[in-house]
Chain A
């Protein structure tokens, strides 16, 4: 069973954007998709040690700010070189105007 941790308020993230969320020594990226849903992934790119929070959300893709590698943040799938390794994803739920990330 995941432990649900409050990451942010729903209106902390603009639609089609992301923010950084740090918890317990780890770092995550929380996304607000254009369809209104929220998603969460590991915060750092799998190519090099760069946080995705300064990247660009385009539809359901996050583009890394360093070398423009892309992931589908819903599944973590690596979509554009130089990223070859998928990104870890985490379950998310929205309750009472807050976004919770499920960590195990």
Chain B
């Protein structure tokens, strides 16, 4: 196909604007994406579902939550509560995202109800409507970083402010999430929400938002009744003061890379991380692998990485290494929104749908 690439100029990231229509017209929407070749027997083994690893990780997850909350309550009012609330908040405000994500895919556990229970709990912690986000995330996988199609593009060009990026406490994101829930609870849905969530689910969306808002209202009532911040430090606020790890990992996924390509190797980043971050993030640092093969559970992603790495760009070697690349690219995009970091594929890798690069190739960096 010899499609005309996107024109240079202002992007419209809304799901109902001109870029959305154009993505459909030129075949970027719901398209066939590149996949590395993996023998069927190997892939079947990688996709195999089991409850064991997620049960083990979830027991530890609850133990850390309960232990952290206990210490936070017991030592409240003294400095000794700080380490407990630090652990509690990161498990609440950061690992909620990866649990939400993996259980939303239904791959973490083999047993469906286990995925569903953790999905609901994690959706509450991360302040996301469990109905809306199931659909927006499906769209993110169908049309990853396709402008006007993907509702989860975190770094729109030109990047608005690097200071937000440095503010690792996700005040803006959490506030926005809460306002969306509050709006949904009143029964109001935006055109974007109506675009990617089927009408049959709208009632469930509103109900879920009402339940979440009722819990927050009850927490505020307890805080007022006891005249203490503690209830809010345990419910709600950890989404802000414990979200730094989620934000830190999340921005590494796609920032500064290509838009409007059909190859996850070019718009997604795999970053090697330490074991603690990988536990919190449930191995989503293997993000190219996850996007290419969303059926592979988080615990099998390191094995998948070994199988296909010869077909992928070299991974970033650490979180710091990833951020060096992200910052350099975003800095360029501030003045040149057409710029993106063009990932170099190894000589053994197969190229794919190069026509979507032709316009930007001169401005991209490697």
Contact = CB atoms under 8 A, between A and B. Distances in A.
Contact of B295 (A47, A68, A81): A68
Report the contact-size class of chain B (Cβ under 8 Å from the partner).
20 to 34
A69 B100 CA distance: 16
B44 A66 contact: no
Given A48-B142, A80-B112, A55 B49 contact: no
Nearest to A67: B138
B294 A66 contact: yes
A68 B105 contact: yes
A92 B135 CA distance: 34
A92 to B, nearest CB: 21
A56 B198 contact: no
Report the contact-size class of chain A (Cβ under 8 Å from the partner).
10 to 19
A58 interface: yes
B198 A84 contact: yes
Given A49-B30, A67-B141, A56 B295 contact: yes
A17 interface: yes
Contacts of A66: 141-142, 294
Contacts of B295: 55-56, 63, 65, 68
Nearest to B47: A56
A34 interface: no
Nearest to B46: A56
Interface string A41-61: 000000111000011101000
Most buried by B among A56, A63, A67: A67
Contacts of A56: 44, 47, 49, 295
B205 to A, nearest CB: 12
Nearest to B201: A81
A58 B112 CA distance: 12
B141 A84 contact: no
B30 A82 contact: no
A81 B142 CA distance: 15
Nearest to A55: B295
B49 A58 contact: yes
A97 B299 CA distance: 38
B200 A84 contact: yes
Most buried by A among B107, B141, B198, B295: B295
Interface in B136-151: 138, 141-142
A35 B138 CA distance: 32
A3 B57 CA distance: 52
Interface string A13-53: 00001000000000000000000000000000001110000
B265 interface: no
Contacts of A82: 134-135, 138
A58 B135 CA distance: 23
B106 interface: yes
A30 B21 CA distance: 36
A47 B106 CA distance: 16
B106 A80 contact: yes
A49 B143 CA distance: 13
A84 to B, nearest CB: 6
Contacts of B198: 84
A46 B230 CA distance: 48
Interface of A: 17, 47-49, 54-56, 58, 63, 65-68, 70, 80-82, 84
21 contacts: A17-B44, A48-B142, A54-B43, A56-B44, A56-B295, A58-B110, A63-B295, A65-B293, A65-B294, A66-B141, A66-B294, A67-B105, A67-B142, A68-B106, A68-B107, A68-B295, A70-B106, A82-B134, A82-B138, A84-B198, A84-B200
Given A67-B294, A80-B106, 8 more contacts: A17-B44, A58-B49, A63-B106, A67-B141, A67-B142, A80-B112, A82-B134, A82-B138
